[in-house]
Amino acid sequence: MKSHIQSLLIQALDVLKQQGIIPTDFEARIQVDRTKDKTHGDFATNLAMMLTKIARKNPREIAQLIIDSLPQDSQVEKVEIAGPGFINFFIDEDALANQLMAALKDDHLGISLPEQQTIVVDYSSPNLAKEMHVGHLRSTIIGDSVVRALEFQGHKVIRQNHVGDWGTQFGMLLAYMEELRAKNGEQAQMELSDLETFYRAAKVRFDESEEFAVRARKLVVSLQSGDEYCNKLWREFNDISLKHCHDVYTRLGVSLTREDVRGESAYNAELAEVVKELDTQGLLSESNGAKVVFQDEFKNKEGEPLPVIIQKADGGYLYATSDMAAMRYRSNVLNADRVLYFVDLRQALHFQQVFKLARKANFVRPELSLEHMGFGTMNGADGRPFKTRSGGVVKLVDLLNEADTRALELVRSKNPDMDQAELEKIAKVVGISSVKYADLSKNRTSDYIFSFEQMLSFEGNTAPYLLYAYTRVAGIFKRAADIDLSDAKIVLAHDKEKNLGNKLAQFGEVLSRMVAKGQPHAMCAYLFELAGAFSSFYEACPVLAAETEEQKKSRMLIAQLTAKTLKQGLELLGIETLDRM
125 binds ligand ARG per the rule CB under 6 A: yes
In whole angstroms, the minimum distance from the beta carbon of 167 to ligand ARG comes to 10
Residue 179 half-sphere exposure, CB side, CA atoms within 13 Å? 19
For the chain, what is the radius of gyration of the CA atoms?
A: 28
Q: Return the biggest CA–CA distance within the chain.
A: 89
Q: Are 497 and 541 in contact (CB under 8 A)?
A: yes
Applying CB under 6 A, which part among 27-35, 124-132, 195-203, 233-241 lies near ligand ARG? 124-132
Residue among 45, 127, 311, 321 that touches ligand ARG (CB under 6 A): 127
131 binds ligand ARG per the rule CB under 6 A: no
Q: How far is CA 139 from CA 69, 124, 241, 340, in A?
A: 48, 5, 18, 11
In whole angstroms, the minimum distance from the beta carbon of 191 to ligand ARG comes to 23
Applying CB under 6 A, which part among 16-24, 36-44, 56-64, 119-127 lies near ligand ARG? 119-127
In whole angstroms, the minimum distance from the beta carbon of 271 to ligand ARG comes to 14
Q: Which is nearer to ligand ARG, 321 or 560 (CB)?
A: 321
What angle (nearest 5°) sits at the alpha carbon of residue 499, between those of residues 495 and 501? Answer: 115
238 binds ligand ARG per the rule CB under 6 A: no
Q: Which is nearer to ligand ARG, 323 or 497 (CB)?
A: 323
In whole angstroms, the minimum distance from the beta carbon of 266 to ligand ARG comes to 11
574 binds ligand ARG per the rule CB under 6 A: no
**Alpha-carbon gap, residue 10 to 66, rounded angstroms:** 10
> Total number of residues binding ligand ARG (CB under 6 A)?
10
Applying CB under 6 A, which part among 82-90, 123-131, 211-219, 390-398 lies near ligand ARG? 123-131
Applying CB under 6 A, which part among 118-126, 479-487, 539-547, 553-561 lies near ligand ARG? 118-126
Q: Which candidate, 330, 342, 341, places its Cα nearest to that of 368?
A: 330
What angle (nearest 5°) sits at the alpha carbon of residue 431, between those of residues 250 and 440? Answer: 80
162 binds ligand ARG per the rule CB under 6 A: yes
Binding mask 333-362 toward ligand ARG (x if CB under 6 A, else -) reads --------x-x-------------------
Residue among 110, 126, 171, 464 that touches ligand ARG (CB under 6 A): 126
Q: Which candidate, 443, 453, 411, places its Cα nearest to that of 430?
A: 411
The values of phi and psi at residue 199, to 5°, are -60, -45
**Alpha-carbon gap, residue 166 to 223, rounded angstroms:** 9
Q: Which candidate, 454, 447, 470, places its Cα nearest to that of 406?
A: 454
In whole angstroms, the minimum distance from the beta carbon of 262 to ligand ARG comes to 10
Q: What is the 3-state secondary structure of 245-302?
A: HHHHHHHHCCCCCHHHECCHHHHHHHHHHHHHHHHHCCCCEEECCEEEECCCCCECCC
Q: Are 51 and 62 in contact (CB under 8 A)?
A: yes
Q: Are 338 and 120 in contact (CB under 8 A)?
A: yes
Residue among 42, 131, 144, 323 that touches ligand ARG (CB under 6 A): 323
**Alpha-carbon gap, residue 77 to 117, rounded angstroms:** 35
The values of phi and psi at residue 44, to 5°, are -140, 150
Q: Which is nearer to ligand ARG, 8 or 157 (CB)?
A: 157
Residue among 21, 96, 109, 326 that touches ligand ARG (CB under 6 A): 326
Q: Which is nearer to ligand ARG, 260 or 323 (CB)?
A: 323
In whole angstroms, the minimum distance from the beta carbon of 334 to ligand ARG comes to 13
In whole angstroms, the minimum distance from the beta carbon of 264 to ligand ARG comes to 8
Residue among 41, 59, 143, 164 that touches ligand ARG (CB under 6 A): 164
Residues near ligand ARG (CB under 6 A) are: 122, 125-127, 162, 164, 323, 326, 341, 343
